[in-house]
Amino acid sequence: MNAAKRLEIFRRLHEDNPEPKTELAYTTPFELLIAVILSAQATDVGVNKATARLYPVANTPEAIYALGVDGLSEYIKTIGLYNSKAKNVIETCRLLIELHGSEVPQTREALEALPGVGRKTANVVLNTAFRQPTMAVDTHIFRVSNRTGLAPGKNVLEVERQLLKFVPKQYLLDSHHWLILLGRYVCQARRPRCGSCRIEDLCDYKHKTSDD
């Protein structure tokens, strides 16, 4: 795929959705961090239902840490893997309190040192909360990047590096959200909805589908 096609892809995505947002509900960087930790192998809708109960009661490192693993588990038990996630969140809160003055750090290295925070989670927080031009590659972005020919790669790190290299700079900050939404609702795993896709004519996928 050439640079002109990539530019037109993101021009259209921007035109259709000038200010894309994450579908996770949050009001502070800390709330976002916890929501992203909880979202591993879970849906944003499921996470939002749990945090809608949790955050009115506890939405700071101190308040969640005070709940303890058992107390936190009661709020998030509708989410998959909630036991291990509760342990990670409580330990993350402890480290935020002890090492970071209860603030969410703004570097990938410091974020990845927190339990339950991998490279993808760190990139989401850096991009969404702190508006850094990072690229969090999830299953949707990995699929879209390879299927369309936008930024093919054999693994998520390769795709991340390709996207950072090839996405036009003026669109990089919001491209993570556009690609997730495209993969979640249009370029779906089992059968892409090519007939409804805004960039169908620019996509290199050889097995285009209709929406019939």
Annotated binding site: 187, 194, 197, 203
Compute the distance between CA of residue 26 and CA of residue 149 in angstroms, rounded to an integer: 33
49 is catalytic: no
Candidate list 77, 138, 208, 212, residue with the active-site label: 138
Distance, C-alpha 207 to centroid of its chain: 27
Backbone angle region of 80, left / alpha / beta, with phi > 0 → left and psi within -120 to 50 → alpha: beta
SS3 state of residue 75: helix
Residues belonging to the binding site for [4Fe-4S] cluster are 187, 194, 197, 203
- 15/74 Cα distance (integer angstroms): 42
CA distance linking residue 71 with residue 98, whole number of Å: 21
Is the separation of the CB atoms in 75 and 92 below 8 Å? Answer: no
Q: Which of 87, 120, 169, 211 is catalytic?
A: 120
| Active-site residue, 138 included | yes
Closest CA to 82 of 45, 40, 54: 40
Catalytic residues: 120, 138
